[in-house]
Structures are given as structure tokens and as C-alpha cells.
């Protein structure tokens, strides 16, 4: 048993990369190099070793959890003497800006969808629930994008509750990173998936006293973790990669940063990191880490080096 210091036993089982990899237990690699390229985020050096060493074991564990959920439902059905309809299995993926949540979520979606019975797996990012820029500006929150108060938390909770309740169809608003804003009127339609992945900075926030938190509806949650200084560097590296790509588009909110010199761009990226994203990480996101079922800890090179799994 691992200890959390002072001799107090830890509620987690901890694995290094090698011992976690062994838990893949023959799970086949069902992903081509082309598919890996498609799901990899910009400036994320994610590679096939990462899938083989980390995510196949994780996919196996998630499938076991989904199967266990089904057995629990059978138990309740037996108790009630009538069949209880299955509800979607909900997975939350949390962590800082620029930590690589989207890549991991896209990969899990693909791996899980290729499991036995080919379940329907949907992925929703919480950015669609950000208030539009006009609302953020009116509330003085433009420098707080990504903070809990920058989201329509009620709408997000309603959406996940609807999914958990098994509604046949629902939809979520859409965010366009290029324009840095909600696309007015656009919706992503979600039709009763077997598994839903909800990815975002704040998905593990706790509720106000007496309230219901999003994470109360999760069947499994993952926190993607790394040292703050390493994430800062990844944020800046990605800002430079975006400068060479998306920011060159005149419609990009960040287009002005494609036109300044490298020193000015670096200074601006540092400011965005220090004044917005690091404050949010330290004040709001990191404190939710202990609520995750599983923590993936990345090293400086973006490679997962340790995995912590909560004892159930």
C-alpha cells in the first residue's frame, strides 16, 4: 500500500509506466499511424508508444468498468424483479489548458468504440458551454475565460443530466477556437450514446453545499496532470505553433499575434499563461485532482510517467 506521508495510507494504487503497461494484458492495438496523426493535438508529441504503454491499459480498465456497471444494473434488476434500462456510462476528463486533454479524449473515444459490441461513444468538450464573448465582456470576464464562472454551468449540468437520464436526443452549443467565441445557433447533436466523454478544465469542480456537481454524474473520471512549469512551456510552444498555422488566418481572434515579432509573441504568451491559465490552474483546477478516479502524471516530454488509480 502506498502512503500519502505521515504514515497515512493512500486511497490510490500507484503505478510506474512499466507496471501500468503490463496491465494492457493482451489488449490489441486497434489504431493506425494515420488515425494517430488525426487525433493528435497541435504541438503534442503524442506517439504510438504512448498508446501502447498507457492508453491500451486505460481502455481495458474502462471497458471493465463499463461491464461492471452492466452487472450492477443486473443486480438492481434482479432486486426489482424488472429490467432496468441501461444508461450511458459517463467519463470526465479534467486538467489544465494545454495539458493534452483533447488528444487523450479523442484517443479514448476511438479505442472504446472499437471494443466488444462496438459501443457508440460521443465526446463533448465543455468549451461549448462557455458564455459567448458578448456576455463575458458585459460581465467583465474576458480575462477569465476557462474559469468556472465563464461557463453556463446550469446548462452543462442539465445536458449531462439529460444524457444520464437516457433522453433519445439532445444537443450542445458549439465553440470555435479560431474565432475564440461561441458559434451563434450552431449545435452538436448527441443521440443516446453508450458512453459519453466530457472533457474540460473544470469538470471535476465540486458543487455548492446542497447542490449537484457535474462529477456526481460521472462513472469514471481522469485528471491529466503535469508540473505547472512544464505545462507553461507547452502552452508557449503551442502558441508558437498556432502562430505559424491558425493565427495566420485573418478570421482568427489571435491573428495580431501572427504579425508581431517572436519576442513580443513570447511575452504575450507568457502573459496569457501567467494572468489567466496559471491562475485558473492553481485556484480552480488543481484542487479538483484528488476527486479523480485516475490521475495520469506526465513528465516534461509529455510522456505519462505515473498512473494513480483510486481504490474503490
Ligand X SMILES: Nc1ncnc2c1ncn2[C@@H]1O[C@H](COP(=O)(O)OP(=O)(O)O)[C@@H](O)[C@H]1O
Interface residue list for ligand PAZ (CB under 6 A): 97, 125-127, 145-146, 200-201, 272, 276-277
Residue 99 marked ligand-binding: yes
Residue 102 marked ligand-binding: yes
99 interface partner picked from ligand X, ligand PAZ, none, CB below 5 to 8 A per type = ligand X
Q: Can you read off the three cell numbers belonging to residue 183?
A: 458559434
Query: Shortest distance, CB of residue 284 to ligand PAZ, whole angstroms?
Result: 11
| Residue 210: CB atoms within 10 Å | 5
Q: Would you say 2 and 13 are in contact if contact means Cβ atoms under 8 Å apart?
A: yes
Query: Shortest distance, CB of residue 64 to ligand PAZ, whole angstroms?
Result: 27
Instruction: Compare residues 218 and 272 and give the one whose CB is closer to ligand X.
Output: 272
Kindly state whether residue 148 participates in binding ligand X, applying the rule CB under 6 A: no
Among 57, 102, 126, 288, binds ligand X (CB under 6 A): 102
Residue 113 marked ligand-binding: no
Query: Shortest distance, CB of residue 66 to ligand PAZ, whole angstroms?
Result: 24
In angstroms, the CA 115 to CA 59 distance is 9
Among the listed ranges 12-20, 27-35, 96-104, 166-174, the one in contact with ligand X (CB under 6 A) is: 96-104
Give bridge partners of residue 297 from the DSSP assignment.
225, 306
Strand order in the sheet with 304-310: 12-16, 304-310, 294-298, 220-225, 89-95, 195-199, 121-125
Instruction: Compare residues 161 and 268 and give the one whose CB is closer to ligand X.
Output: 268
Instruction: Tell me how far CA of residue 137 lies from CA of 146, 150, 154, in angstroms.
Output: 14, 10, 20
In angstroms, the CA 116 to CA 185 distance is 37
Query: Shortest distance, CB of residue 201 to ligand PAZ, whole angstroms?
Result: 4
Indicate the angle between helix axes 101-113 and 56-80, nearest 10 degrees. 60
Kindly state whether residue 99 participates in binding ligand X, applying the rule CB under 6 A: yes
- Which segments are annotated as binding site for ATP? 95-102
Q: Give me the residues that bind ligand X (CB under 6 A), please.
A: 41-42, 95, 97-102, 177-178, 242, 246, 254
Amino acid at each position: 500500500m502506498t502512503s500519502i506521508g505521515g504514515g497515512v495510507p493512500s486511497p490510490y494504487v500507484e503505478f510506474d509506466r512499466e507496471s501500468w503497461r503490463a496491465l494492457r494484458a493482451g489488449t490489441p492495438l486497434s489504431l493506425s499511424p494515420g488515425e494517430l496523426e488525426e487525433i493528435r493535438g497541435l504541438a503534442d508529441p503524442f506517439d504510438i508508444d504512448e498508446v501502447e504503454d498507457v492508453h491500451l491499459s486505460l481502455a481495458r480498465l474502462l471497458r471493465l468498468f463499463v461491464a461492471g456497471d452492466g452487472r450492477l444494473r443486473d443486480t438492481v434488476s434482479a432486486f426489482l424483479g424488472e429490467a432496468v434500462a441501461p444508461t450511458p456510462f459517463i467519463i470526465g476528463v479534467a486538467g489544465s489548458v494545454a495539458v493534452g486533454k483533447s488528444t487523450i479524449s479523442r484517443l479514448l473515444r476511438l479505442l472504446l468504440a472499437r471494443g466488444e459490441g462496438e459501443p457508440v461513444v460521443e465526446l463533448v468538450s465543455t468549451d461549448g458551454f462557455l458564455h459567448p464573448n458578448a456576455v463575458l465582456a458585459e460581465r467583465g470576464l474576458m480575462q477569465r475565460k476557462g474559469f468556472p464562472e465563464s461557463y453556463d454551468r446550469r446548462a452543462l449540468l442539465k445536458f449531462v443530466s439529460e444524457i444520464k437520464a437516457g433522453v433519445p436526443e439532445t444537443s450542445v452549443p458549439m465553440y470555435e477556437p479560431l474565432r475564440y467565441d461561441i458559434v451563434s445557433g450552431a449545435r452538436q447533436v448527441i443521440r443516446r450514446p453508450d458512453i459519453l466523454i466530457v472533457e474540460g478544465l473544470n469538470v471535476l469542480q465540486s458543487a455548492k453545499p446542497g447542490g449537484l456537481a457535474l462529477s456526481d454524474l460521472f462513472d469514471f473520471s481522469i485528471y491529466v496532470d503535469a508540473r505547472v512549469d512544464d505545462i507553461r512551456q507547452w502552452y508557449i510552444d503551442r502558441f508558437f505553433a498556432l502562430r505559424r498555422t491558425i493565427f495566420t488566418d485573418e478570421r482568427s481572434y489571435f491573428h495580431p499575434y501572427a504579425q508581431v515579432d517572436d519576442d513580443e509573441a513570447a511575452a504575450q504568451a507568457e502573459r496569457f499563461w501567467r494572468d489567466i491559465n496559471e491562475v485558473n490552474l492553481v485556484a480552480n483546477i488543481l484542487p479538483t485532482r484528488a476527486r479523480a478516479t485516475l490521475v495520469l502524471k506526465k513528465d516534461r516530454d509529455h510522456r505519462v510517467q505515473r498512473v494513480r488509480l483510486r481504490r474503490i
